Amino acid sequence: MKMLVAILMLGAAAVVQAEGAENAATNGMDKAERLRKATGGFVLDRREAKGRVGFVNMQSRVSRDVLSAGAQALESEFMLHVDVLDREASGTADIAELGKVASESGLDFAVVVADADIPMSMMLAPEQKYGIVNVRMLAKDNPPQDTLERRLRKEMARSMSLLFGSGYTVLHRSTLSPASTLAELDELPSGRLPAETSSVVQRMATENFGFKLFRRAFYIKALQEGWAPEPKGEYQKALWLQYHEMPTEPMKIEFDPKKGR
């Protein structure tokens, strides 16, 4: 009997603990949601940023939209301008020609995304501030299109990070883990870079090359300072309407002697 009571008590305790954990998670989500509603979430202030890095697209196997999405993700990671430029594709360009394209791109750091007859998928020349990602080698096993696109996104992040001196990470699996074959590259997780990678890139960019980073601020703060971008999502739109409906000058009440005070 005592054992049965003990088992029932343990079961009840487990249920209470599980409900408590679920409530804590729900409360955490509610708190984050309330914060987004009150502030509009974070936006980036690019007005005083300095320095441009980016990718020079010279291939057609992968759409430009994929490159643009990769560049936008790196902008948020590095807090730097990351552009995508288009140049005429050339399947016969060698390393010297691709290096010339990079040096004439106008970017402070450039990675040329090429479809070239060179025997590597990625090559870096840090002293010249450029790199090459070769889509032809990424596609040499005729992968499905979505696999090729994931490979390119990973190599974009890896090449730009390594150009700025951020080394491979071995503490945990990430996009920056070592990969010497396409199969190993496919096994690496996609998504955000390790926190230490962004920290190294930002420090190198600002301290060694004179870059200035974006500033991150809440959307409501951007409205107050006058540089808010067009609103996205219901919370930013609500704050935009609320802010622009507010009077910009104090209300004036004129005294009418006929009515008295």
> Of 79, 61, 74, which is closest to residue 162 (Cα–Cα)?
74
Burial 192-213 (b: 16+ CB within 10 A, else e): ebbeebbebbbeebbeeeebeb
The CA distance from 145 to 136, in Å, is 13
pLDDT for 14 beyond 90: no
Summarised one tens digit per residue, pLDDT across range 48-62 is 999 999 999 999 999
Two tokens, residue 46 = 């690019």
pLDDT for 27 beyond 70: no
List beta partners, residue 130: 110, 125
CATH 3.90.180.10 for the 52-209 domain, yes or no = no
The pLDDT score that the predictor gives to residue 9 is: 46
Domain ranges of the chain: 36-48+215-246, 52-209
Summarised one tens digit per residue, pLDDT across range 69-88 is 999 999 999 999 999 999 98
List beta partners, residue 132: 112, 123
Average pLDDT, the chain: 86
The CA distance from 201 to 80, in Å, is 10
The pLDDT score that the predictor gives to residue 4 is: 41
Tell whether pTM > 0.85: no
